[in-house]
Structure 1
Amino acid sequence: MMKLVLSLYLLMAIGCTAKKEVIKSTPNIIIIYADDLGYGDVSCYNKQSKISTPNIDKLAKNGILFTDAHSPSGICSPSRYGILTGRYSWRTIRKRGNPKPGEQPWINQGRVTIASMLRDYGYNTAVIGKWGLGSDWKAAAKPTREGIDISANGIDYNKPIYSGKPVGFTHEEVHLWYGQNYYKRKYPCHDVPGTKEHSDGGRWYFENGISKNGNPQFDQFDMEEAQMHYIARSVDYINAAAKNSKSTGYNLKNDAPFFLYYAPHIPHYPHVPAKQFQGTSGLGLYGDFVKELDWAVGEIITALEKNNILDETLIIFTSDNGPESQTFGYIKEYGHYAMKDFRGVKRDLWQGGHTTPFIVSYPNKITKTGTESNRLISQTDILSTIADYLDIKLDNKGAEDSYSFLDEIIDGFEVKDKREVAIHHSASGKLAIRQGDWVFINSNEGRDNEEPDWFKENIGVVPHNEDFELFNLRKDAQQTTNLVKEYPEKVKELKKLLTQYVDEGRTLVR
């Protein structure tokens, strides 16, 4: 269904891939972007996981499971910037952390994103769930507003405050975070050492820029209800796009494919699984929340099957960074390693901070379903991969750090440039570079979190006083022994290469 006929297509030259004879179609595209989900949380990635994830596993059986895929950063918003733009976020004026509540859109107007590229190609495009990339607060600012005030004194909430529309989404349904300066809410949680899930800042709903019920009413926003709401809306969006729903308001064009960016706030704290999932994992509320995420994936698959469009839908499932630091508590209490065998957690430069589940499913086109790939992947690469499949030519004005991996998922395609280097980014703005088996961390340690002494002792970390870190992942996958002294020439080589890619403003020239 939904065959795309566009005059624009005639204007698009063949992209940067050389292709053999391949029958191409115009797929629906869904990105499911989990929040703080660890590589070891998913059962198809970790046989020792204490959590069963049958629906995510089903995606892997019907697609390709990547074992060396990385988020653009070790923290939320920078990764979301990277996945949508194909560009590392540290190339912007923001070198560390997340945008503050009330800031303008982080993605500059006119910069190519997956959404804007597909919108211009003729797609319906939607973002549903978490945003975290700034919004157009100035459009609704009162004359009395000062700074980034987002209270009712500074913002007229009868006016639209767009988040996704400026960067290419034709429908947006998101919740925005106001922080704990405006409102604090406590949620029930289990008592795990180091837990951070007790409280959250104010949040509120926005649909196509319009605040639900006018001014934000933080006491009426419930994270448990919100997550169930957003998966229901995602399913309804799929039904509406397939003309099997009477719902309106999605800004859908007839007979066009759709792109859905579904961004649940799961399993980020506060851990608030719906009642039907509580007690189902054996791993407390965290595990129950992951079970809810897996159920949501199943709901999306079921919706596609019921509408007979599963085979023509490209699905990418991944996470914005590694698991939260409280996972160390889960190790001690449950024996569950959310980062699997890696060292590092969310925010860190060590592998566990940015190595994520990454599954690509496209039943109608992937011939080697149920296979694994150890190809080096960054989430920034999604943009170029989609562009290559649709024959969209990308110039050098955008997607500076995006390599196509189309040849890895669909037979008959060949790509000109393969990713050989990845740059990793911590929450505090530190950088590392990966090339082959080697990782050079341009800092004296790869952590942004306190790593428990018992954990370091368990994996055999060798203390050091060096200014930088160098690891060989093939010989030392857990990054326990710093090799800076043993391989000074490799340090010099990788440090020079990192400086080069930073200074050049891109890692790929088309």
Structure 2
Amino acid sequence: MTSRVTWFCLTLALLVPQAVLAAEKPNIVFIMCDDLGYGDVHCLNPEHGKIATPGADQLAKEGMTFTDAHSGSSVCTPTRYGLMTGRYSWRTKLQSGVVTGFAPCLIDADRPTVASFLKEHGYQTAIIGKWHLNFQYCDAQTGKPYSAKDFKSPPVGTKIPDGPLARGFDTYHGFHHARDMQTVIENDTVIAHDPPINMLPRLTRKSVEYIDQHANDDKPFFLYIPLGSPHTPILPTKAWQGKSGLGDYGDFVMETDNVVVEVTKALQRHGLADKTLVIFTSDNGCSKAAGIPQLADKGHIVSAHLRGSKADIWDGGHRVPFLVRWPGKVKAGSKSDQLICLTDWFATAADVIGEDVPAGSCEDSVSFLPALAGEAIASTRAGVVHHSISGHFAYRQGPWKLALARGSGGWSSPNEKQAAKTDAPKAQLYHMMDDVGEKDNRYLTETSIAERLLKQLQADVERGRSTDGPKSKNDTKKIDLWKSEKN
């Protein structure tokens, strides 16, 4: 009898640590807005932010605000690639701009994603929203891929062989990108054509439904909610029209923020709020389509204290809101000024669940988990690479930022064509602690610093990775650092 009891206790002792580890894996909700400017979140821009964002503000109150967080690019597709893979998108064939669908997925089939990684380690994985990383639309009977010339909106029943379900997600409900927003997809099939004005309410509803359906499951979930708002088409629904007093864009930002409110309510309703890591961010800065000058006339500054906006190499293009709530792990009302990038999410997710990142991934990903505990990030990366819509590069190391562009490298004035007609130097160097508005270009006076940053950028590009690890390869040899000035 004694031996049986001893064996039972020994078995129980072996099983308990595994159960405890499983219990410690939080649910994860990652909300990424589309074209939401740093200054569009009221708590980040209290003086010049005129749009009410109670959902995001409450997250900040209950969690941590990162004040120096950056997207991997100042435009949609590259940022999403970096978030999913932990690798800069400019290491692929996509050297500028965005993808438009009706083409094979930008993420190679054999490359791990944060979704496939979490799934491998016991998570249920779902994406509800915008993919924008390419996939093929195929005839359901023949399997033949359609082209964009065949259909503006692929017919109901069209199959998608290389979409999110083929890149680690169990569940997908959403659309590819803004110009194809009317094409509603569920898992690997086009299920409906619906006016774009209905998409944001749809994503809100589906996100809440997912939490409702999986609240009592034994396995944790990773719910990725890449919204299509407040990107164009700017279409607040009737219930939100007129609420901001700033026109359609302000109303649309408020309706976007309401996703945070509704998701939070769902987590609280099921007693999951204390068991869930929630992250809220944006893929890049606010777009000029929002009517930036008109909003400024009404007192709302979309980029707050930053220069530029979506598409630019200046910080207004890629410094983004980044709020984290994780009760019991992250101190309420805390702030971090440590430099992070959305490519860092993959390594952080691995750290959160206590696993190593998989081979062939995370070349540009550093865990920011220590920052959530108020500690310094232990980084093997020398700096962070920024990238504009036109493919212009910048490199940030400590307080210094080197931009290889004469002007914005994007849409803001002076753009590259405009700057080329002036005596502007071929590059820009800013001390971001003293000059966060990027007004005092020191490229011609701090030459040794500029040379050091350029050398490090070149090394990070050529080595195929910016973190420690085995040398990796870029997918292309055609990575041109100097877009406006050939050296």
TM range (shorter): 0.7 to 0.9
* CA–CA separation in structure 2 for the residues paired with 1:449 and 1:314: 35
* CA–CA separation in structure 2 for the residues paired with 1:170 and 1:71: 25
The answer to whether the Cα contact below 8 Å between 2:390 and 2:409 also exists between their aligned partners in 1 is no
- 1:350 equivalent to 2:309? Answer no
Q: Which amino acid aligns with 1:321?
A: N
Pairs within 5 Å for 1:198-347? 203-213=182-192, 217=193, 221-243=194-216, 254-326=217-289, 327-347=291-311
Q: Which amino acid aligns with 2:443?
A: V
Pairs within 5 Å for 1:52-63? 52-63=52-63
- Hey, what does 2:445 align to over in structure 1? 486
Structure 1 segments unaligned to the other structure (5+ residues): 1-6, 12-21, 180-200, 244-253, 457-462
Q: Which amino acid aligns with 2:396?
A: R
Question: Residues 156 and 292 of structure 1: is their aligned pair in 2 closer, same or farther, counting only changes over 3 Å?
Answer: closer
SS in structure 2 of the partner of residue 44 of structure 1: helix
Q: Which amino acid aligns with 1:444?
A: R
Question: Residues 331 and 292 of structure 1: is their aligned pair in 2 closer, same or farther, counting only changes over 3 Å?
Answer: closer
- Hey, what does 2:31 align to over in structure 1? 32
- Hey, what does 1:112 align to over in structure 2? 112
Deviation at 1:420, TM superposition (A): 4.7
Deviations 1:61-114 (A, max 9, x none): 111000000000000011011111111000011111111220111111121211
Deviations 1:303-337 (A, max 9, x none): 00000010000001000000002443234431211
- Hey, what does 1:390 align to over in structure 2? 353
Worse-superposed segment, 371-380 or 390-399: 390-399
- Hey, what does 2:65 align to over in structure 1? 65
- Hey, what does 2:425 align to over in structure 1? 466
Q: Which amino acid aligns with 2:467?
A: L
* CA–CA separation in structure 2 for the residues paired with 1:482 and 1:87: 29
Deviation at 1:136, TM superposition (A): 3.6
The answer to whether the Cα contact below 8 Å between 2:81 and 2:88 also exists between their aligned partners in 1 is yes
Q: Which amino acid aligns with 1:346?
A: K
- Hey, what does 1:83 align to over in structure 2? 83
Deviation at 1:484, TM superposition (A): 1.5
* CA–CA separation in structure 1 for the residues paired with 2:337 and 2:42: 18
The answer to whether the Cα contact below 8 Å between 1:104 and 1:138 also exists between their aligned partners in 2 is no
- Hey, what does 1:47 align to over in structure 2? 46
- 1:422 equivalent to 2:422? Answer no
2:372 pairs, out of 409, 417, 442, with 409
* CA–CA separation in structure 1 for the residues paired with 2:61 and 2:442: 38
Percent identity of paired positions between Structure 1 and Structure 2: 36
Worse-superposed segment, 470-479 or 304-313: 470-479
Structure 2 segments unaligned to the other structure (5+ residues): 1-13, 470-487
Q: Which amino acid aligns with 1:90?
A: W
Q: Which amino acid aligns with 2:211?
A: I
Structure having the larger proportion of residues in helix: 2
SS in structure 1 of the partner of residue 394 of structure 2: strand
**How does the TM-score come out when normalised to structure 2?**
0.85
* CA–CA separation in structure 1 for the residues paired with 2:403 and 2:325: 33
Question: Residues 148 and 204 of structure 1: is their aligned pair in 2 closer, same or farther, counting only changes over 3 Å?
Answer: closer
Deviations 1:390-431 (A, max 9, x none): 1211255111110011111137x8864365511001111111
Question: Residues 361 and 452 of structure 1: is their aligned pair in 2 closer, same or farther, counting only changes over 3 Å?
Answer: same
SS in structure 1 of the partner of residue 356 of structure 2: coil
SS in structure 2 of the partner of residue 372 of structure 1: strand
Deviations 1:101-147 (A, max 9, x none): 20111111121211101111111100001110111435859587676
SS in structure 2 of the partner of residue 212 of structure 1: strand
SS in structure 2 of the partner of residue 380 of structure 1: helix
* CA–CA separation in structure 2 for the residues paired with 1:30 and 1:150: 36
The answer to whether the Cα contact below 8 Å between 2:83 and 2:343 also exists between their aligned partners in 1 is yes
1:374 pairs, out of 314, 332, 337, with 337
- 1:444 equivalent to 2:406? Answer yes
Q: Which amino acid aligns with 2:277?
A: L
- 1:431 equivalent to 2:385? Answer no
* CA–CA separation in structure 1 for the residues paired with 2:361 and 2:394: 22
Deviation at 1:25, TM superposition (A): 0.9
* CA–CA separation in structure 2 for the residues paired with 1:59 and 1:212: 34
Deviation at 1:57, TM superposition (A): 0.7
- Hey, what does 1:188 align to over in structure 2? none
Deviation at 1:161, TM superposition (A): 4.4
**How does the TM-score come out when normalised to structure 1?**
0.82
The answer to whether the Cα contact below 8 Å between 1:144 and 1:153 also exists between their aligned partners in 2 is no
What is the aligned residue count? Answer: 446
- Hey, what does 1:166 align to over in structure 2? 166
Deviations 1:230-277 (A, max 9, x none): 11010000010014xxxxxxxxxx411000001111111111111111
Bigger relative contact order (CA 8 A; separation at least 6): 1
SS in structure 2 of the partner of residue 265 of structure 1: strand
The answer to whether the Cα contact below 8 Å between 1:137 and 1:155 also exists between their aligned partners in 2 is no
* CA–CA separation in structure 1 for the residues paired with 2:262 and 2:153: 41
* CA–CA separation in structure 1 for the residues paired with 2:359 and 2:113: 13
Worse-superposed segment, 116-125 or 156-165: 156-165
1:363 pairs, out of 327, 339, 351, with 327
Task: Output the aligned Cα RMSD.
Answer: 2.8
* CA–CA separation in structure 2 for the residues paired with 1:276 and 1:392: 44
Deviation at 1:156, TM superposition (A): 9.0
Deviation at 1:387, TM superposition (A): 0.3
